[in-house]
């Protein structure tokens, strides 16, 4: 087998491509890597592009997963976390995943609001359901219950996603909320969420032992206008945590 040793291979003209092998042949590459910023198929369609520092600036949609990360809010001592851009007709479903949500005030609620004017105003009328399942640390009280005091019946009051979060250094809440077709201007806007948190108040009376609480919340905003803003906050005080917004293809 013949070998060619060289440091650089360049085309004769700057606009000319370099072709290795012919159609149907296999080109083998040794143990070393091929370093390029743009990878394209034979038809010239870009598969992905890197900025040269390991960050992908674009990826062909055929290679993407169903969830596309759009934005990340990481915060400490924040009064709220709002997403007021990128919520449009690009995706039919938007999913928000929140992690390590820790309130500054003990026993407060993690709440959600929507906006139809990019966050200039909040407080859209909404109707929702609220189911809670919990188990006290002592193991003596467990339940799956519907909480009428935490649902919403055509109200502008903030939607409760997690109730009674503990503010201890090792206490937090996690979960996700999904908003369906927020840019649609024909139907009301449907949402649902599932959460899990260290709950300092799960039962009908304040709990002295605290508990593991899981909630299931669902409902709709009573508007045919496009929802283009989503805001998370505590019912009182500030919070730490991280929230990621994804688009679902």
| Residue 194 falls inside a structural domain | yes
| Residue 47 falls inside a structural domain | no
| Residue 182 falls inside a structural domain | yes
Name the residue range of residue 115's domain: 67-248
pLDDT by position in tens, the chain (length 249): 677 888 888 888 777 777 777 777 777 777 677 777 888 887 778 888 888 877 777 777 666 667 899 999 999 999 999 999 999 999 999 999 999 999 999 889 999 999 999 999 999 999 999 999 888 877 777 889 999 999 999 999 999 999 888 888 888 999 999 999 999 999 999 999 999 988 765 444 444 457 788 999 999 999 999 999 999 999 999 999 999 999 997
Q: Where are the beta strands (DSSP E) in the chain?
A: 38-40, 46-50, 56-59, 67-78, 80-83, 93-103, 108-115, 126-136, 142-146, 152-155, 159-165, 173-180, 189-199, 211-221, 229-234, 239-248
CATH of the domain at 99: 2.60.120
| Residue 44 falls inside a structural domain | no
| Residue 143 falls inside a structural domain | yes
| Residue 217 falls inside a structural domain | yes
| Residue 135 falls inside a structural domain | yes
| Residue 22 falls inside a structural domain | no
Domain count for the chain: 1
């Amino acid at each position: 087998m013949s070998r060619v040793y060289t440091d650089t291979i360049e085309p004769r003209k700057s606009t000319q491509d370099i072709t290795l092998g012919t159609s149907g042949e296999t080109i083998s590459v040794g143990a070393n890597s091929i370093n390029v910023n743009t990878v394209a198929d034979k038809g010239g369609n870009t598969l992905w592009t890197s900025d040269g520092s390991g960050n992908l600036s674009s990826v062909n949609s055929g290679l993407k997963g169903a969830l596309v990360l759009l934005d990340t809010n990481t915060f400490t001592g924040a009064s709220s976390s709002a997403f007021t851009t990128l919520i449009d007709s690009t995706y039919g479903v938007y999913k928000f995943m929140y992690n390590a949500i820790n309130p500054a005030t003990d026993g407060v609620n993690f709440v959600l609001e929507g906006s139809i004017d990019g966050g200039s105003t909040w407080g859209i009328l909404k109707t929702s359901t609220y189911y809670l399942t919990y188990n006290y640390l002592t193991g003596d009280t467990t339940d799956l219950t519907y909480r009428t005091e935490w649902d919403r019946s055509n109200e502008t009051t903030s939607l409760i996603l997690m109730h009674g979060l503990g503010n201890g250094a090792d206490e937090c809440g996690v979960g996700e909320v999904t908003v369906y077709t927020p840019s649609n201007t024909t139907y009301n806007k449907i949402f649902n969420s599932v959460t899990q948190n260290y709950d300092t108040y799960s039962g009908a009376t304040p709990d002295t032992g605290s508990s593991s609480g899981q909630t299931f919340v669902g409902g709709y905003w009573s508007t045919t206008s496009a929802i283009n803003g989503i805001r998370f906050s505590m019912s009182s005080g500030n919070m730490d945590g991280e929230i990621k917004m994804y688009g679902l293809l």
